[in-house]
Structure 1
Amino acid sequence: MPVTIGDITGAFEFANTGGDMGEFCAFVCKQTGKIYLQTDFPDTAELLDELPDDIHDEEKYVALPDKRELDLGKPLVLAFAGEYLPGDFDDVRYFFDKRGAYSKFKALLARRGAIDRWHAFEAKATEQALRDWCALNEIEIVG
Structure 2
Amino acid sequence: MGEFRAFVCRQTGNIHYQTDFIDGSELKDELPEDIDDEDKYIPLPDKRELGLGKPLVLDFAREFLPNDFDDARYFFSKRGAYPKFKALLARRGAIDRWHVFEAKATEQALRDWCALNEIEIVG
Q: Is TM > 0.5 for Structure 1 vs Structure 2?
A: yes
Hey, what's the Cα distance between the residues in 2 that align with 1:99 and 1:52?
36
Hey, what's the Cα distance between the residues in 2 that align with 1:40 and 1:92?
31
Residue 26 (structure 2) aligns with: 44
Q: Deviations over 1:11-55 (max 9, x none)?
A: xxxxxxx4xx5x11110000100010112357424xx43211100
Q: Secondary structure at the match of 1:39?
A: strand
Residue 24 (structure 1) aligns with: 4
**Structure with more relative contact order (C-alpha pairs < 8 Å, separation 6 or more):** 1
Hey, what's the Cα distance between the residues in 1 that align with 2:112 and 2:50?
9
Residue 86 (structure 1) aligns with: 66
Higher percent of residues as strand: 2
TM-score by length of 2: 0.92
Overall identity of the aligned pairs, in %: 79
Hey, what's the Cα distance between the residues in 2 that align with 1:97 and 1:49?
36
Q: Deviations over 1:66-125 (max 9, x none)?
A: 110111000000000000000100111111111211111000000000000001100100
Task: Provide structure 2 residue ranges, at least 5 long, that are not aligned to the other structure.
Answer: none
RMSD: 1.4
Task: Provide structure 1 residue ranges, at least 5 long, that are not aligned to the other structure.
Answer: 1-17
Q: Secondary structure at the match of 1:98?
A: coil
Matches within 5 A, 1:1-143: 18=1, 23-40=3-20, 43-45=25-27, 48-143=28-123
Hey, what's the Cα distance between the residues in 2 that align with 1:135 and 1:80?
25
Hey, what's the Cα distance between the residues in 1 that align with 2:20 and 2:70?
39
TM-score by length of 1: 0.80
Higher percent of residues as helix: 1
Hey, what's the Cα distance between the residues in 1 that align with 2:74 and 2:26?
37
Q: Secondary structure at the match of 1:133?
A: helix
